[in-house]
Amino acid sequence: MQLAQTAAIVTGAASGLGAATAAALAAQGAEVFGLDLPGSIEDAPSVDGVTYVGTDVTDPEQVAAAVATAAEGAPLRTVVSCAGIGPSARILGKKGPHDLALYAKVVQINLVGTFNVLTLAAEQIAQTEPLEHGARGVVINTASIAAYDGQVGQAAYASSKGGVVGLTLPAARDLAQHGIRVCTIAPGIVETPMLATVSDEFRAGLAAGVPFPQRLARPEEYAQLALAIIDHDYLNGEVIRMDGALRMAPR
């Protein structure tokens, strides 16, 4: 599927995976609408072809309005959901049991937010003119290898990302009649702003655990994979690990 003269939505677009993906899509000629929280957008990079829209992905009305804005001009063909959070807490920690509100918040943003964007964007994509073989667009969601190898303290995060993995195939099957493909990327350890606060020694230790290449992934590599999925019309209903063959240890 060609990106030129089409519209695309990227969530979590102000930084990390989302920022790299928004820039990559814009470089291919897409009109990109970068969704993120208003406070995050204030610090977002200025990129030609990327328009930022303050949006809480868990709010149906806000997402519907952002999707409608993205669909006003060129046909909306692409959605990449990168918005998410990853706080750490043990089920039974030093301060007592895992806070239920925190668990619900992680699931609400990472899983329910992803489903919210998928559903409302698919409604708009389904209204576009079909391309060859009835294709209309593609939705790429973001899981994590924690969905399979959740570590100590990742009960909430792993649950939410496991939900995204489980959503992939039924979503692809549901949307097949509309010509919309659905795939998921499950990254390993990526050099994102969340890692910027840790020491070089700690990052080196993380990289040493990756079989090959023995380094952290780059956000641009996530964006590169997203572009490959968009271009490859026969990729559908699949979760692709991007982790250098890493299998996470318990801690």
CATH code assigned at 227: 3.40.50.720
> Is 249 inside any structural domain?
no
Q: Give me the number of domains the chain comprises.
A: 1
In a domain, 114, yes or no: yes
pTM of the full structure? 0.96
Is 21 a domain residue?
Answer: yes
The rounded distance, in Å, linking the Cα atoms of 54 and 136 is: 26
Tokens (6 digits) for 207: 């990289």
CA angle 25, 31, 32 (to 5 degrees): 60
pLDDT in tens, 61-76: 999 999 999 999 999 9
pLDDT recorded at residue 197 = 66
Q: Is residue 238 part of a domain?
A: yes
Answer for the pair 46, 70: CB distance below 8 angstroms, yes or no: no
User: How far is Cα 92 from Cα 190, in angstroms, rounded to an integer?
Assistant: 28
Bond into 213 cis (ω within 30): yes
Sole residue written with tokens 């949307």:
175
Q: Using one digit for the tens of pLDDT, what is the confidence trace for 162-187?
A: 999 999 999 999 999 999 999 999 99
Residue 31 lies in a domain: yes
Locate 123 and state its tokens: 């409604």
Residue 251 lies in a domain: no
Which among 81, 89, 115 is positioned nearest to 187, based on CA atoms?
Answer: 81
State both tokens at 232: 């490859």
Closest by CA to 176, choosing from 133, 142, 141, is 133
d(CA 209, CA 247): 9
Strand residues in 87-199 grouped as ranges (E): 92-93, 96-97, 137-142, 180-187
What's the pLDDT score for residue 200?
A: 79
Task: Please give the residue range of the domain that contains residue 99.
Answer: 7-242
Nearest to 84 by CA among 64, 114, 62, 124: 114
d(CA 45, CA 67): 21
Please state, in angstroms and rounded to a whole number, the distance separating the CA atoms of residues 109 and 59.
10
User: How far is residue 54's CA from residue 11's CA, in Å, rounded to a whole number?
Assistant: 10
In a domain, 226, yes or no: yes
Phi and psi, residue 46, nearest 5°: -85, 120
Q: Output the six-digit token pair for 10.
A: 């990227």
Are 191 and 218 within 8 A, CB to CB? yes
Q: Is residue 1 part of a domain?
A: no
Active site residues: 157
Residues of the chain with pLDDT under 50: none
Tokens found for residue 208? 């040493």
Q: What is the pLDDT of residue 202?
A: 75
